[in-house]
Amino acid sequence: MEFLSDYGLFLAKTVTFVVALLIVIGSLASLGSRKRDAEGHIEVTALNDRFEDWEDQVKSVVLDETAFKQDRKEAKKKYKAEQKAAKKHKEAAPLKPRLYVLDFDGDIKASAVEHLRHEISAVLTLARPEDEILVKLESGGGMVHSYGLAASQLDRIRSKGIPLTVAIDRVAASGGYMMACIANRIMAAPFAVVGSIGVIAQLPNFHRLLKQHNVDFEMHTAGDYKRTLTVFGENTDEGREKFLEELEETHQLFKEFVSEHRPQVAIEKVATGEVWYGSKALLQNLVDEIRTSDEYILSKREQSDIFEVKYVAKKTLAEKVGVAAHSALDAVIGKWVTKASQRPLA
């Protein structure tokens, strides 16, 4: 009985807390919807430094103490020599090329383009023709207009004369491949999914269900093809024909886009909606090399300064409070569960 009493008291406190919290969050959400916090910011990570740290960590464990100290001594000596040489030949010494690494993880709406556009703008303020931009791309495709915009963002890099490489570690299909084919070079992991140069559209129709239950549905349009197919109305053969015509037109534009950027592809052979794994995609000229992004980045370590660039958006006040409230609620429940588990059952 004591357990049930404690549980009831805990439940009452929790419900009161949650209700009060929802009221606060609702108010803040209303405020946050009117005005978001200031824009996010760009974060730049020097990957060369990260790799050096990792190398030192491994050496500190793998090498014996004497060998590790000797390695550190030689590394410091080499660094001082490089700094002295750079200072002596400061005017003549050319800068190392830079490799900028961006990530694009696309959903059906290509929502990540909002971050990608800021990252590209930031990099283009400094990038030189001898530099390179690597985009680690992952997407199974989505809306045509959304991925068209994402591809246009990558085209900004090509327009500036900056070499662009796309790495496909897992999947770049349909709209994802539309983006990838912008690149000067496409790399893919052996089992990455590539291709799907096709167009798909599907929707349910509830007209017969509504008719069965005597529910009328009206839709009025101005223009013969303002709406071709509908979810609730009765679809016509004419509407279906026009809908299919629009799909074919979109597919043709997609094929022309791929052909323009990758003329080496036999477009009629591959534009069937099929996908290929990386090694097979190479045979179809859909990609240029079988390689993972990690392998490529590490191979550039000695000859390039490598920077990872990310745009980080600020959360609204309501989002921040929501995260804090969720953590607080988890902590309260966790404490109660711990306390309850310590009670004797009888």
pLDDT at res. 271: 93
Higher local confidence (pLDDT), 214 or 180: 180
Phi, psi angle pair for 26, to nearest 5°? -60, -40
Is residue 247 scored above 50 in pLDDT? yes
Is 35 a catalytic site residue?
no
**What b/e readout covers 184-193, taking b as 16+ CB neighbours within 10 angstroms?**
ebbbbbeebb
Taking residues 60-82, report their average pLDDT: 80
pLDDT at res. 343: 55
Higher local confidence (pLDDT), 70 or 5: 70
Average pLDDT, the chain: 84
Domain spans of the chain, in order of start: 2-37+316-341, 98-196+274-312, 207-243
Kindly report, residue by residue over 292-341, the tens digit of the pLDDT: 999 999 999 999 999 999 999 876 655 555 555 556 656 656 665 555 55
pLDDT at res. 233: 84
Q: Which of 35, 87, 90, 226 is catalytic?
A: 226
Percent of the chain with pLDDT over 90: 52
pTM for the whole thing? 0.76
End-to-end Cα, the chain, rounded Å: 10
| Among 9-13, 35-39, 106-110, the range of highest mean pLDDT | 106-110
pLDDT at res. 33: 45
Domain 98-196+274-312 annotated CATH 3.40.50.10470: no
Higher local confidence (pLDDT), 292 or 245: 292
Is residue 212 scored above 60 in pLDDT? yes
User: How far apart, in whole angstroms, are the C-alpha atoms of residue 252 and residue 154?
Assistant: 21
Is 174 a catalytic site residue?
yes
User: How far apart, in whole angstroms, are the C-alpha atoms of residue 186 and residue 223?
Assistant: 43
Q: Which of 136-140, 175-179, 269-273, 331-335 has the lowest mean pLDDT?
A: 331-335
Which of helix, strand or coil describes residue 189?
coil
Which of helix, strand or coil describes residue 288?
coil
Dihedral of the alpha carbons of 45, 49, 53, 55, in degrees to the nearest 10? 120
Which of helix, strand or coil describes residue 170?
coil
Q: Which of 136, 139, 146, 174 is catalytic?
A: 174
pLDDT at res. 346: 47
Q: Which of 42-56, 82-96, 156-170 has the lowest mean pLDDT?
A: 82-96
With 0-12 / 13-18 / 19 or more C-beta atoms within 10 angstroms meaning exposed / middle / buried, residue 203 is exposed
pLDDT at res. 23: 63
Q: Which of 142-151, 237-246, 272-281 has the lowest mean pLDDT?
A: 237-246
Higher local confidence (pLDDT), 218 or 117: 117
The band of 75, judged by pLDDT with boundaries at 50, 70 and 90, is confident
Taking residues 218-228, report their average pLDDT: 84
